[in-house]
Amino acid sequence: MTFFRFEDPWFLLLITLLPLAAVMVRNNREAVISYSSIGRLKAVRPGRMTLISAIPNFLKALGFALLIIALARPQEGHKRSQILSAGVDIVLAIDTSGSMQALDFMKEGKRINRLEVVKDVVSDFIANRENDRMGMVVFGKEAFTQCPLTLDHDILLAFLENLEIGVAGDSTAIGSAIGISIKRLKDLKSKSKVIILLTDGRNNAGSLSPAQAAEIGKIYGIKIYTIGVGTRGKAPFLVDSIFGKQYIYQNVEIDEKTLQEIAQKTGAKYFRATDRESLKNIYKQIDSLEKTEVKILDRSEYRELFPYFLIPGLIFILAEILLSHTRLRRIP
């Protein structure tokens, strides 16, 4: 960031004395000469010569004003901020299995599926953690890294926006999702390592069990916050039938016990989101629990600008002296 300042701004008060100095000089110049008659002189209109005769005074005033500004030491500053932060490394593990199609969430009076609500809420969470490295793991029947850990949150948000249901299969491999997330975090040196796992089902795929994955996370000092998302009871799904689009209601079971054990084992917490507002509050709670310590070191460099005022000021004063003693000399 570039800015302008005066190192010694009090010198600028001297500019207010220039009008007073001009009046005093004018009074000192008053003189009387003997002349037989000034009748003809009175008949002469001032015209252009009056303006020309004012040039020396103008040059002198401008010159001294520039010299005063030079005394105040104008400077151009360049401010650089260096962020020194003990960041938190966060992996967002998001369930994209078929059950995320359930339309049990509302937004602006309309039914939307679970994944759309998750994308909306998680994007706000990402925006609030600008000094943390974040990545994303997507899971269904399989689990894979959608976005490695990065400080470029625009890329992360782009990946999040393009998430689709079923991209990793229709089953739910919770253990595999935790395992992939741990792989991304285990060798990093950071203040805190966190996995935020969101699912609406129970582990029914993958070779690594959630309990085993949680044990591995504990060994590496990784906290695993777990979120069960979805209404209690039956959830509506929009399906095609011979009568067109119709809603059917199905039970989607969330293995809350396993999710609670995962969080408890790693020193984190389990949350249940039954609507959009509760999901937003959950991410706000996690945001407050995993704070980043940010220290901003400001460094400013200054470039002296007084020569740009001093030199023209001296030139104007010298020009006034030259003109006052040659072409625009006053008599007496």
- pTM value is 0.65
pLDDT in tens, 141-183: 999 999 999 999 999 999 999 999 999 999 999 999 999 999 9
Stretch 22-43: mean pLDDT, rounded? 59
d(C-alpha 92, C-alpha 218), whole Å: 17
pLDDT in tens, 89-139: 999 999 999 999 999 998 888 899 999 999 999 999 999 888 889 999 999
pLDDT category at 37 given cuts 50, 70, 90 is: low
**Fold of the domain built from segment(s) 88-291:** Rossmann fold (3.40.50)
Each domain of the chain, given as residue ranges in start order, spans 2-79+304-324, 88-291
Percent share of the chain, pLDDT over 70: 85
pLDDT at residue 32 is higher than 80: no
